[in-house]
């Protein structure tokens, strides 16, 4: 029995949590996973058993302040410099998402197909290993989904009555999210409750906000305008670091963006790195350091195909 099945059967007879309670619990779990474990007596860091990657874990954070200088080719083999901020990158990504998106309107009885490539390279040295994961997720959660993670495939049971996630996954719920960036931020912050649009976001709420926004961006297929709005929303999150001189797995020039939290928090060392094309700001994928089996790996992952199909194992 794997961890997903154990989690599903744990307290299975209890009434399902509300979306708000579930979202808050997942966020706290993710924070706990990021924080170094300590012994009560000494406060020293201790090893932590590797955990199965949670599907709703954020695809990375992002944010806004620092600027960097990146080299660009002028066409005359002479580099020039241009000051780039996280705001510039993320707003550029928002514009690119609007330009390239192909609006879809899947039916509730259909499936979202994704093909994701993940490459892991041992930090201590050694050959990289590549996984190609294909998954079919029920649009409204009423059917069994067939998912793959690092080459491990399994059927995921249909959602039980009252069961949900935050950010939402069902298409009907995604369509209800606002495409105005500021309203989207507050809606995600308030986790399914009636949004308090007149209330400023508190400093200690921003880590949770960026977690939910980037979790929304993990969806391979979103309603028209929602991905662009999410990039714009990330551009308004305080606590950001821009990383110049990055490359994707094919060596293409890229700019990285990640969220960095306050000292003493689980986010102090920064989150996963979102990568964008250095010229067009098209989203490329993400890099992160992961642990598994007592080893550390540099991991690169990106979606190579997505679409809507009528049945499991069908491809667009």
Strand partners, 283: 276
Count the Cβ atoms, other than its own, within 10 Å of residue 4.
Answer: 17
Q: Do 62 and 230 touch, CB atoms closer than 8 A? A: no
Helix (H, G, I), strand (E, B) or coil at 201: coil
Q: What number is the average pLDDT over the span 236-265? A: 89
98, pLDDT greater than 90: yes
Range scoring the smallest mean pLDDT among 38-42, 222-226, 272-276, 277-281: 38-42
- The Cα–Cα gap between 150 and 154 comes to 11
Domain-located, residue 183: yes
Domain-located, residue 315: no
Domain-located, residue 137: yes
Domain-located, residue 89: yes
- The Cα–Cα gap between 247 and 251 comes to 5
- pLDDT band of residue 26 (cuts 50, 70, 90) is low
Domain-located, residue 316: no
Q: Note the pLDDT of residue 12.
A: 46
Q: What number is the average pLDDT over the span 92-108? A: 93
Range scoring the smallest mean pLDDT among 26-35, 105-114, 138-147: 26-35
Domain-located, residue 314: no
Range scoring the smallest mean pLDDT among 103-117, 157-171, 292-306: 157-171
Q: Do 61 and 235 touch, CB atoms closer than 8 A? A: no
Q: What is the pLDDT of residues 176-211, one digit of tens each?
A: 999 999 999 999 999 989 999 999 999 999 999 998
Domain-located, residue 135: yes
**Could you give the number of structural domains in the chain?**
1
> Which has the higher per-residue pLDDT, 86 or 2?
86
Q: What is the pLDDT of residues 126-135, one digit of tens each?
A: 999 999 999 9
Q: Which domain holds residue 185?
A: 3-309
- The Cα–Cα gap between 157 and 168 comes to 17
Helix (H, G, I), strand (E, B) or coil at 295: strand
Q: Do 267 and 256 touch, CB atoms closer than 8 A? A: no
- The Cα–Cα gap between 91 and 210 comes to 16
Q: What is the pLDDT of residues 117-127, one digit of tens each?
A: 999 999 999 99
Domain-located, residue 302: yes
Instruction: Name which of 217, 310, 316, 194 is nearest 271 in CA terms.
Output: 217
Q: Note the pLDDT of residue 20.
A: 52
Q: Name the token pair of 241.
A: 């670091």
């Amino acid at each position: 029995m794997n961890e997903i099945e154990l989690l599903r059967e744990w307290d299975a007879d209890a009434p399902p949590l509300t979306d708000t309670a579930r979202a808050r619990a997942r966020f706290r779990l993710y924070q706990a996973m990021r924080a170094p474990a300590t012994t009560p007596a000494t406060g020293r860091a201790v090893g932590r058993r590797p955990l199965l990657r949670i599907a709703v874990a954020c695809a990375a954070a992002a944010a806004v302040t620092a600027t960097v200088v990146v080299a660009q080719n002028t066409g005359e083999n002479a580099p020039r410099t241009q000051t780039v901020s996280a705001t510039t990158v993320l707003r550029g990504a928002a514009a690119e998402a609007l330009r390239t998106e192909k609006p879809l309107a899947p039916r509730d009885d259909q499936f979202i197909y994704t093909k994701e490539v993940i490459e892991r390279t041992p930090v201590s040295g050694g050959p990289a290993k590549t996984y190609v994961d294909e998954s079919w997720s029920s649009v409204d959660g009423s059917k069994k989904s067939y998912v793959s993670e690092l080459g491990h495939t399994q059927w995921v049971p249909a959602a039980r009555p009252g069961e949900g996630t935050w950010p939402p996954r069902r298409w009907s719920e995604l369509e209800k999210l606002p495409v105005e960036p500021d309203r989207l931020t507050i809606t995600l912050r308030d986790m399914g409750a009636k949004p308090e649009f007149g209330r400023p976001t508190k400093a200690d709420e921003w880590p949770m906000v960026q977690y939910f926004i980037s979790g929304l961006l993990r969806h391979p297929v979103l309603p028209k305008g929602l991905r662009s709005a999410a990039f714009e929303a990330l551009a308004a999150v305080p606590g950001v670091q821009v990383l110049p001189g990055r490359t994707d797995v094919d060596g293409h020039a890229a700019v990285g963006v990640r969220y960095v939290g306050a000292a003493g928090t689980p986010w102090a060392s920064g989150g996963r790195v979102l990568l964008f094309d250095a010229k067009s700001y098209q989203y490329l994928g993400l890099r992160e350091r992961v642990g598994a089996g007592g080893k550390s790996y540099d991991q690169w992952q990106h979606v190579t195909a997505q679409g809507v199909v009528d049945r499991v194992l069908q491809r667009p």
